[in-house]
Structure 1
Amino acid sequence: LATRTTSSSGFSNGDVIVNALPTNKRCAWITKAEFKPELVPEELMASGLTLTVEEYVAAMQVLVHDVRFTLYNVCYKRLLLVWVLLGFFILLCLLFSGVRGLALFGGGVVWLVVNAMGIFVCMWLKFKLLHMLERCIASINSLFFRHKILLGLDDRGKISCHKVHLIFVYFDVSPCIRYLYEMLENQDRQDALDARAAGDAPSPARNGAALYPVDRARMDIDTSDIIITGGSSTTRISQREKYAEKLLLRYSQRWVKEFVRKRLDLNMPVHPDGFEDGPCPPAPPRHCAMARCPCQFIEEHLRFKPLTKCSLSELCF
């Protein structure tokens, strides 16, 4: 089992270094959350951490000027609220318009249909905003992870629009990247064996890669190669060795959010096999003593169908 080890910096994997809060104070409930890159938390400059002031400011400037981050801050908590208020306004206009009889009934039916369709569209847009935010944070973490820091955004507001926290977590992800690389390599070898023995009877002894194969459709990363074009020939450079790093960065925002919300408990089963023989034994810690590390979280996401689904309350609020 993994043990809780403290690095020379004084931090252990999974320690929250600091939470950065929005700086806007006036009309904070209705204005978007604002962060000033030039305000550097002193906790990030602690002895042992290698992040410099210039690197922090540069990364935060990229973040706050990223349109995906801005769209999330402006629209995520407001989409459904604005549509519901607009729907009630239209309903009141319909009721006090003087229309009676079948016309009023027909208008009410049309209002119900349009309102329901609008709610579903708002929920779909919120899914898209979450997806865009995860890719935005992944690009920022490509700058932070080399300093053993992962950044995540956690929106802790219900109706308010200003409780957006930027969370900096200390984590040395190099062992996780190595594990993900080996996982993908093992899956490639297993796929080659399965293709070679396509006509043979299945073997009774199957390893984890065969029992629970990696669902590559859920990786959601760019797997295209680099192509160098020349006058008479082209050269293709494979990026397979970068897949593990891209995979970890792609899900870094999701991991930080689930981690700070205490949803990555080692005692919590994530796939149906955990309920077959009574209580599920705790998952052994891998690179974090207190919860599932990023590579555990990503592997379970790719291999198993999660038991828990996206909460409707999270999309509504």
Structure 2
Amino acid sequence: MAASISNASHAINMLGLIVNLFTLVVLSRFRTTKDYQSSFDTAQSALDLSINLLHYLSSFPLPTVPQMTQWNHFYCRLFLSRALLWASTALRAHLNLFVATHFFIKIALPFTRFSLRQRVPFWISMVISVYSFVLGSIPHLHSTTYMPKSFTCTSNKTAQFSAHNSFGLTLRYLSLLVVVHNYLIPILTASYIYHQLFYVLRRSTSKAFAVMKHELLIRFLLDVVCYTICYSPAYWALFFGYYWDPSKLETGSEKYNNISFLTFFYPLLYPLISLFTRRSYRRPCEELLRQLCQPSKNSGDSSRISNTSRSSTR
């Protein structure tokens, strides 16, 4: 059972890696309009691709070479502990929130000149992103320890996270802060923003607003509903299970990997659903197909011209 779940996770992650790589190339190279929405799409695809790569980097074994002890310490703390993976996941949630905020400003507050492109809002969003990234990684940095004698990265002992010492108590409260700041706040705030957007657009009957409502509905389903379904078990079980009862869950254990199984689906489902349902993804694909078909058309025209010239010479 454990082997089948592990193989399925790697297969899903490989598909997500391929799809996100294709999507990122298409969105960055063949997009017809370079507006703020397309920039968000490109950033989300790049972050999903990074999450796919971090999933693989979190499963590689350590080299058994004494000269690479420092590298093994670094790799064990950042990658095998899933610290960078969880930090990127937190960054993805806040990026989804920034997208919802951008649409709310453009649609519900069109009379204001406030925009995320301005210098102050941009740097505020960057500070929040960096803070959520660092906050999401700190608890996991202490979840694993490298053993130089055996060249292994092992989960820390239960006693280290005990509530009877200050370090364990600090990690417990920090894990609670991570769940609130990197999971609950982005999801609940984005849900409220999309609810207000649908309320503003409920009476509009024009075609442009109908297209906008369809785009917002797909974004709500992907950025809020799908994210909640894929990451809820991992957030609640991994944080409260590991840091509040460490004997129940260890980093890299079979139970840990089983709970994390749904997290592999989000970087795959997001680009797949977007490619089939969103115009901002279909148009670059149509442009790619148009450019791929253009050389064959030109070659056909040149062949016809050459045949005509040959017949005229005869």
TM-score, scaled to structure 2: 0.26
Q: Which has the higher helix share?
A: 2
| Greater strand proportion | 1
TM-score by length of 1: 0.26
